[in-house]
Amino acid sequence: MKFNKICVLGLGYIGLPTASTFAAHGVKVVGVDVNPDIVDILRRGDIHIHEPGLRETYKTALASGNLTVTGRPEEADAYLITVPTPFHEDRSGEYNGQKYKLADMRAVISATEAILPFLRKGNLVVLESTSPPRTTLELVAPILARSGLKAGRDFHLVYSPERVLPGQILRELIENARVIGGVTPESAQAGADLYSIFVKGEIIKTDATSAEMVKLMENTYRDVNIAIANEFARLADKFGVDIWETIRLANRHPRVKILNPGPGVGGHCISVDPWFFVEAAPELTPLIYNARRVNDAQPRYVVEMIRRELGSLKDKKIAALGLAYKPDVDDLRESPAVEVVHALQNEGAKVKAWEPFKPDAKLPGIDMAPSLDDALKDCDVIILLVRHTEFVNLKPSEISAATRARLIFDTVNGWNANEWRTAGFQVARLGVGK
Ligand code: SAJ
């Protein structure tokens, strides 16, 4: 199948890099976003998200004339849906007295409906948004059928999950293997034709529901593995051992790959996607459910650890380093670091937070410092919540000169404890029991 013009619906962390990459490969792309502010920013040639290399790739695509940005789709050969699928904030499910989160599919529904007036025979529709199993067959296809056209017979419909790691999106978009799940083998082939325009990784064809499962399995697998690492860290605290050292040693075993404990699991993927399995089959997912509970409880555990060290948090002045959900990104969505700061404040601590990737972030109730020095200058305790490279590279001697604090908490194994002790700091670390 040939693609002269495509529409990408949703210009966020996945849609914008995808649209820019297609345009950079010579395809006419209409980038669509329902948020007029985003359309304005993009039309001005600026971008609203931080991702290495994206600004340049986007600007080149815009300047080439291959990429236009608008608020409404246009007739095209293919339509890609790359809108967010968070969980509902105000609704939850219940099974055996256990509450679980529900997928919020409203953006997928409205994006699919927005395609309806333009859908033509022979078109290709791609759902990329992470979705509960059977969404393509049971939510998207029926909506598109309102056009009078049938998926798999009159037009192609596929589910093709993005699998890119924030911070490396542009490279992984091209290099990662791509799973294409078609409602028919012909649809899968049409999807393969589209992505082979820029994908250099292997293109693997399967059916739509399998592709949906693959995506959820990948992120759920990671979430469960992080949960066990977090439980190991709690055990290490109890038994007075160093979790980072014990993980290093255990990972020497040929069949063991333990991930890193930390203050919790954030972002819009790993902390969200497993719930789609729990919602789909609560009776079948006790492990997945409990892993979510372990990781969601980790910020609380970190606050307990800090209170244990300080006795009481009341009026303690704390410098919190990092609010992003993970290192070297500007994304604060579902961030465990933000949760830790809120919990510390709820216990009466006075927290100043410094986030170098988003210094101007507006977070209700959080006192954002304009600089590292400002966060450090009047604090009793320093807490490292995110393993940003620039934090890892901090010189203890320079920090000791910039603050009167002499106690540090390292929740992400970012600092060499001996170096900080040499510089006069008392060091407490997640997963390192006394
Ligand atoms: N984390 C830990 N310990 C670890 C690894 C991560 O606590 O050992 C935490 C991070 O700090 C962060 C969260 O987990 O809060 C998730 O970070 P991540 O780097 O593991 O993943 P994401 O959410 O940035 O990206 C994931 C990736 N999925 C997998 O690696 C299976 C990416 O490939 C997906 O495309 C992305 O989700 C997505 O969009 O689904």
Cβ–ligand 1 contact at 156 (below 6 Å): no
Q: pLDDT tens digits, the chain, 434 residues: what are they?
A: 999 999 999 999 999 999 999 999 999 999 999 999 999 999 999 999 989 999 999 999 999 999 999 999 999 999 999 999 999 988 899 999 999 999 999 999 999 999 999 999 999 999 999 999 999 999 999 999 999 999 999 999 999 999 999 889 999 999 999 999 999 999 999 999 999 999 999 999 999 999 999 999 999 999 999 999 999 999 999 999 999 999 999 999 999 999 999 999 999 999 999 999 999 999 999 999 999 999 999 999 999 999 999 999 999 999 999 999 999 999 999 999 999 999 999 999 999 999 999 999 989 899 999 999 999 999 999 999 999 999 999 999 999 999 999 999 999 999 999 999 999 999 999 999 87
pLDDT of residue 219: 98
Cβ–ligand 1 distance for 218 under 6 Å, the answer yes
User: What's the pLDDT at 244?
Assistant: 97
pTM: predicted TM-score of the whole model, two decimal places: 0.95
pLDDT, residue 345, reads 95
Please check whether residue 99 is in contact with residue 25, taking contact to mean a CB–CB distance below 8 angstroms.
Answer: no
pLDDT digit string (tens) for 187-208?
999 999 999 999 999 999 999 9
Quote the tokens at residue 275.
């719930």
Q: Compute the distance between CA of residue 337 and CA of residue 308 in angstroms, rounded to an integer.
A: 18
Whether the CB of 163 sits within 6 Å of ligand 1? yes
Instruction: Say what the pLDDT of residue 50 is.
Output: 86
If you measure from the C-alpha of residue 162 to the centroid of ligand 1, how many angstroms do you get, rounded to a whole number?
A: 13
Ligand 1 atom at minimum distance from 172 CA: 33
Catalytic residues: 215, 269
What integer pLDDT is reported at residue 46 of this predicted model? 96
The residue whose CB lies within 8 Å of the most ligand 1 atoms, and thus the one to mutate among 164, 213, 222, 411, is: 222
Residue among 231, 269, 301, 302 to mutate when testing ligand 1 (max atoms within 8 A of CB) = 269
Return the residue whose CA atom lies nearest to atom 40 of ligand 1. Answer: 269
Q: Which two tokens stand for residue 82?
A: 């790359």
Q: For residue 107, which phi and psi values (nearest 5 degrees)?
A: -70, -35
Predicted local distance difference test score (pLDDT) of residue 284: 97
**Residue 318 confidence (pLDDT):** 98
pLDDT at 89: 86
Say what the pLDDT of residue 433 is: 82
How many Cα atoms within 13 Å fall on the side-chain side of residue 360? 0
